[in-house]
Amino acid sequence: MSQATDLSWHQNIDENGSQPPLSLQDVHVSYRTRKGSVQAVRGVTLDLKAGESLALIGESGSGKTTLGLGIVRLLVETAEVSPGKIIYRRDGRELDVLSLADGPLREFRWRDCAMVFQSALNAFNPVLKVWDQVWDTAKAHRWNNREEVRERFLDLLRFVQLDPARVIDSYAHELSGGMRQRTLIAISLLLDPQILILDEPTTALDILTQRTIIDLLRRLKEDLHFTMLFISHDLAIAAELADRVATMYAGQVVELGPVEDIFYRPRHPYSLGLIRAVPTVTGGFEELSSIPGSPPDLINLPAGCKFHPRCPYASERCSNEEPQLERVGDNHFAACWHTDAVEEDIERNGLRVRRST
Amino acid sequence: MAPIIELRNVTKYFGSGRDQVTAVDSISLDIEPGEIVCLVGESGCGKSTTGRMVVGLLPPSEGQILYQGQDISAMDKADYQQYRRAVQIIHQDPYASLNPTQTVRQMIAAPLLRHQAQRSSGSANGSGRRERRRDVERRAAELLEIVDLTPVAEFLDKYPHQLSGGQRQRVSVARALTVEPKFIVADEAVSMVDVSIRVSLLNMLSRLKDEFDVTFLFITHDLALAKYFAWEGRITVMYLGRIVEEGPTPRLITDSRHPYTQALLGAVPEADPELAKKKVHLELRSAEIPSLLNLPTGCTFHPRCPYIVEGECDTAVPLLEHISDGGSVACPVRKSEPSLIV
Amino acid sequence: MTAQGWEGEQTDSLLTSAWKGFRTFVRLLSYNRVGFIGFLVVIFMILLSYAGPLIIELDTKTKIDKIYITPTIEHPLGTDHQGRDIWSQIVNGGKDVIYVAFLAAMISTVIAVVFGTLSGFIGGWVDSAIMSVTDIILTIPQFPLLAVLAAFISLNSLTLLGILMGLLNWPTLLRALRAQALSLKQRDFIEAARALDLGVWHIVLREMVPNMMPYIVVSFALGMTFAVYQQAGLVFLGLVPISAGNWSVMIQLAWVRGAIFYKDSVWYIMAPIVAIAILQLAIISMTRSLELVFNPRLRASE
């Protein structure tokens, strides 16, 4: 494979800039259904800082994908984002994403905030060759210099370590899963967006392919300092790629902090539960434990802390009062009444319990 | 003890003529009663095809599958029926493995009612429909309790779409248990279930092994899960239809010999930032999996393998050879070299 | 011995569960407005055709002074060439049409469901045999065949006509159902049923057919509409001996009497045509709702 091309045209944004490029303020998303309103996202406040990669971690029904789609406004019609505010900043201008008209919104999705979807095959038009699709995209954004577009796209394909000659005139179904995912990442970089949102970027890929995608994303992060938002159910993605991690449960961020804090000093019982539930290959032989119960019904959420029916530390207070994110360390926040108990548990029993064999 | 399941040079072709692919290429595998064997590999390696052949859902193209020493293709009707019930499968997708038109009660009752006559239950004969149904009802409740779907009454009348992924998998297990199987093929049984619930499912399966003497063939792409579930058993690694390495789990995880196993172990993303940073990755020569329609000659891994010996790896198909540390490896070049991974 | 029978015992009262089922049925039916209206019209047409004759007697008296009169209160749809009331003929003429169509659709659907599913599920020589027969029937031109048959057997019995039509109409549906069965067969829950040794009949009738119900019911309804036109066509061509008065016979008679040539007689020929059209439209509209009602997921989520 050829040496990775360096994408010299990529505009590195000023990392010392004071304001984060993306701010979510108390964002709520609900879906209307026959049975009632599904509270998918319930008040998420979050800043995505310039050059950082943030991982949104959660299981099915945690609201992570809804939140990601909400940021680029690709939610289905039955979804409603309200209340809440999504602010996007670039070069001193501020955009209120939720009030963008159709035209500016399309620009926003490609030039500012590009999303790479979970199902790479569905993202392609099956009757168009890769290049035709890229050219259509470029034209739609009034970039009509065919040579220039082609040059840029070839650069990008080389960057994602694909053989440009092979990919550019192929149909999506002719590419393997890993190649498709890499092509998709290349296309999403075409208009040099400032932020990249990746929804389950490695799910459904084979292990060796996952590794190549992870390595590629790491290069985007470390060499080009892309601002990235990962959405995944897979803790390993966060551990491999994130600077900061936000754990989501029942539509809220329940813990937020630097990756080491979340993985080695978790303060929310749900984060700890996840860590204790996931085995490692090269670590020791650990005892695993799962979190009892099932995710909550998003139409009839429990009162108080939404995690309390499954929480080993739950007390009377948890079933009545809902905790908010509070500081538990430098840049580390958790929404739990019993962060002390979690800390104590880890001190007493260790983070992961070694199994004696 | 005699193996409960034995595969002898089993091969499976799909399609014919130019489109013929060899999904499974002459694999042999013995599974002793009470043993846990994990079949690990990426998509297209033939692990699911192998699982379905073991259950009898697919006939092998060549070779034999033996249940308790008897070739299943040569069994008489009674023996085949016994085998058929003794070997069950748990599918991967909890959304596809349950009939959406049936309640949990119907799903579990159907096999119970059908096989009630054959079971040696004293109350079954002459006691009438009502009695028999009560029997079935009692048994269904017991089974749901075994798979931890309690309170039972809450689940009996539910339809699949009213259950979570984890609960559905439990129903699948309960349904398989209706016929008192001796052997269960768990085909990626937990990979589509939320992380927080996987472990309890795995633990439930482990408990079945101890309490009901069920032997498991656990098929997965996830080495970390295989390591957890089969720590006291064996892992068999498949690549493009062939077994490339097998051995006791601790040896295979900590001292793998086949370059493909090492590549997998090195590539698995770790849910631990320090481990993720420290981990050694085996650099492959190519990221692409060869097409099953056009398999490489010799060792099928040679176009990707960093340890390739030209003239050897690309000509001769390597045989599985025993190694002194336990298990066997199909790589004459690296079989005695200690692993760099881990 | 089936799971269904066993399930009945669980509910305390059969009446309550039936009432519950009915309510769910109506609620699902009403999700689609057009479909619900279609359903109501179908019910109305059935009532009109089966209960109507008890109230409104067929007018058989020839009244020379009342030939081809336009609608009056006494004769809401006017009269025919013999001065007989058309409305009474419409009320009395629907029963046969619906009966024959229902019988034909029922027979062809049952054949298609049973053999289509078996063919898809079992495969092998069973599949080849069933498909060969299907292809043969499919290639025989049906109208000429019926015409020939009519020459040998007298099609004076409606039941016989319905059965004959049913025996000829199944191949298209069978092919469609076989395709569905083939794809269902790959599904994990069918594999699980095979592994559990539940038997071919259980798998076909309890596992596969319920999952094809929306399609089957819609096909049944469409099969009825086809059969309505088919019998109208047969009667119109005079292949079926005219016995009792029904909508098809009315059209044929009107045609033969030259009813299309006079302005005043337009009621005579249009009344049965419109009656058939309304019935057809209602059945087709109803299929939209039937799809919902027989979708297992929707039904169960109620």
CB-based contact, B133 to chain C, within 8 Å:
yes
Under the banding of pLDDT at 50, 70 and 90, the label for residue B117 is low
Least confident of A172-176, B116-120, C57-61, C129-133: B116-120
Per-residue model confidence as pLDDT tens digits over C53-112: 888 777 777 777 777 777 777 777 777 777 778 788 888 888 888 888 999 999 999 999
**CB contacts, 8 Å: A288 with chain B:** 199, 202, 228
CB-based contact, B109 to chain A, within 8 Å:
no
Return the CATH number of the domain spanning residue range B5-101+159-329.
3.40.50.300
The mean pLDDT value for C16-33 works out to 80
| pLDDT for residue B64 | 93
Say whether C210 and B85 touch across the interface (CB within 8 A). no
| pLDDT for residue C8 | 40
**C-beta neighbour count of C20 within 10 angstroms:** 12
**CB contacts, 8 Å: B197 with chain A:** 290-291, 294
Which residue ranges make up each domain of chain A?
A: 22-242, 262-354
Distances (CA, A) of A276 to A295, B190, B220: 17, 16, 20
| pLDDT for residue B10 | 95
Q: Strand A22-33 and strand A36-48: pairing?
A: antiparallel
Per-residue model confidence as pLDDT tens digits over B209-260: 888 889 999 999 989 899 998 888 999 999 999 999 999 999 999 889 999 9
Chain B segment 221-250 residues within 8 A of A by beta carbon are 221, 223-225, 227-228, 231, 250
Say whether B159 and C300 touch across the interface (CB within 8 A). yes
Which residue ranges make up each domain of chain B?
A: 5-101+159-329, 103-158
The mean pLDDT value for B124-141 works out to 77
Arithmetic mean of pLDDT over chain B:
88
Instruction: Using alpha carbons, select from A64, A31, A120, A123 the residue that is nearest to residue A254.
Output: A64
Q: Which residues of chain A, if any, have pLDDT below 50?
A: 1-4, 16, 357
**CB contacts, 8 Å: C180 with chain B:** none
CB pairs under 8 A between A and B: 134
Q: Mutation test of the interface with chain B: which of A2, A65, A208, choosing the one with the most B Cβ atoms within 10 A? A: A208
| pLDDT for residue A124 | 79
Burial group, residue A345, by CB count within 10 angstroms (0-12, 13-18, 19+): middle
Under the banding of pLDDT at 50, 70 and 90, the label for residue B59 is very high
Q: Does domain C18-300 have CATH number 1.10.240.10?
A: no
Instruction: Using alpha carbons, select from B112, B157, B152, B164 the residue that is nearest to residue B134.
Output: B112
Chain B closest-CA separation from residue A273 CA (Å): 7
Return the SS3 of C160: helix
Chain A: touching chains (3 or more CB pairs < 8 Å): B
Provide the edge-to-edge strand list for the sheet that holds B242-248: B87-90, B183-187, B215-220, B36-40, B234-239, B242-248, B328-329, B321-322
For residue A183 the two structure tokens come to 């092509």
**CB contacts, 8 Å: B270 with chain A:** 236, 239-240, 280-283
Whether B8 shows a pLDDT value over 90: the answer reads yes
| pLDDT for residue B171 | 93
d(CA C215, CA C211): 9
Least confident of A43-52, A69-78, C15-24, C160-169: C15-24
d(CA A201, CA B211): 40
Chain A segment 225-264 residues within 8 A of B by beta carbon are 233-240, 259-260, 263-264
Under the banding of pLDDT at 50, 70 and 90, the label for residue B74 is very high
CATH fold of A22-242? Rossmann fold (3.40.50)
The mean pLDDT value for B67-88 works out to 92
Chain B segment 143-162 residues within 8 A of C by beta carbon are 157, 159, 161-162
**CB contacts, 8 Å: B157 with chain C:** 10
| pLDDT for residue B127 | 60
Chain A segment 41-100 residues within 8 A of B by beta carbon are 59-60
Place of tokens 């509270």: A39
Residues 6+ apart with CB under 8 A from B220: B38, B39, B40, B188, B190, B191, B226, B229
Q: Strand B215-220 and strand B36-40: pairing?
A: parallel
CB-based contact, B101 to chain C, within 8 Å:
yes
CB-based contact, C24 to chain B, within 8 Å:
no
**Which stretch, A90-104, B78-92, B272-286, C234-248, has highest mean pLDDT?**
B78-92
